[in-house]
A and B are shown apart, each in its own frame.
Chain A
Amino acid sequence: MITPLEFLYHFRDLLRERGIRFAITSGMACVYYGLQQNTKDSDWIIEPADLPKLRALLLEYERRVPPWRISYRHIFGAPLVEEYLAAGWTSHLAIWPSAGGPEEHVDIFGAPPRVLPGSVAADEMGFAEPDLVAWMKRTDRDKDWPIVDGLARILEGAQMPEAALHMQQAAALRAIWRALPTAVQNTLLPHRPLLAMIESVSDDDMLQGLIRVERTIWETVNQERYRRYQHEWKEFYRRWKKEDFWEWPTPEPFSRQHERLVRAAKTYDLPVVILDEAAKEAAWTRGIERATLISGRPSATVLALAPSRGRMLP
């Protein structure tokens, strides 16, 4: 029986063999960095242009002897197609690499949230760099924020200036910031406006309060982003479910499932682009309004702390 970690590294090696550009992120990356003790799912950022090669790999392994059993999972997700994943959707697969063995959950991103285009980088082991994982972990889940802070500490230990982008503790942030040359500080400021306030706020508790407001902004903007995908997917799913003899996921091979899901996405109108420029602006604005209400701070303060729309919703 193959273990989840053996599967992770085997799948990584297969992607490399096929020239598929990838980075392992989220839970397994946090295990790698020593910040998460347990996960079974693996999350992969795959270059959307390489998805045809990934589908070919899956189809090949479904036909080999002994075969992998591969299936879409029932959860919220789009077809494993370039256009959808490049537009921020995710695809979710279950893979049984051995008969009778456990299923492996494989979650695939093409354009991961909060990660700037062209900045996906993996180390020699195939894991996303800590800076990238830290941007992805700015979610509205409480459990992710200690990980953002832990990744900042790792970046600090590696003497990388990006530590200042992710540090969640006021005193440590102040110390890191002051040690950076001005030229480096200037490259970081557009990503984290709070950095510009460090010297004007002398009290660490006050600075900690601003860090908390900043976190609230990330949380609410993420909720506004996610809820738009969720709404469209629910509407699509409800329309699709009205088909006669509807079933999902079907027990058929992945190749047939994939055709079925692609056809359903077209027939029942699962939109490719959820966040066009206007929708991004609306999500960002609404997120900041909500963060203002939640934090009880003046709107000017919240707006001054908010990273740009392009930084939060690239």
Chain B
Amino acid sequence: MPKLSLMFEDKIVKVVPVGSRPVTIGRAPDNDLPVDNLAVSNYHAKIYFEAGRMVVEDLDSLNGTFVNDLRVERATLHDGDNVHIGKHKIRVDTSGEAPVPWDTGRKTAAPRIDETMVLDTKERRQMLQQAAAMGESMQFAGARMKVPTLVVLNGQTDQKEYVLANRLTVIGKSPLATVRLKGWFKPQMAAQINQRDDGYYLGPGDKVPKINGTSISGPVRLNDGDVIEVSRVRLNFIFRG
């Protein structure tokens, strides 16, 4: 039977078969593949068989579902595809017999066009912003979280983009840091970003960071679009707070 392997940092966390029932993915514990991360919506996506093809459908998640790095609303999956949700990856294995459709009734529902989209970083950023803004305007407070994002403009870091899912974020060389700096002579903790009641604040660590070119003297509240500069890394803070 076809199966899905939930992976985190190249380790398999859980494997589930895809049978006649849809496999649900999300932060809520009652999902078939629960993903334990604040960047993941409670009910983030589902994967099921339709007309003999395996399909992934994003359930209006805040931070999106990506198939092989392309953000999708809905897409057909092929053997070996990787579905990215937050920091987790789901590896698709379609070998084996496809199951018999479990509910022929659903096929009579209005046919949907595959809405696969190709997004460059800028468009993706705008989408994340729109999603964040939408998440805010919708009143399902528990189901949607507004989370800011750091986009790396230049410098050596372990990722190109960071979702600030925790209240405390550290930028530094430390393996415990959220934004990990690479290279020689980088401080363990260069700077920090902390969520307070009224927003996100950038504060110094071993270095004094700059916001939009100006050095800070203490914690300073970050605004959407601010450029943070520390230890030769420039980060764009994206948050429609």
- Are these two chains actual partners, yes or no? no
* B residues apposed to A, CB below 8 Å: none
Residues of A at the B interface (CB closer than 8 Å) are: none
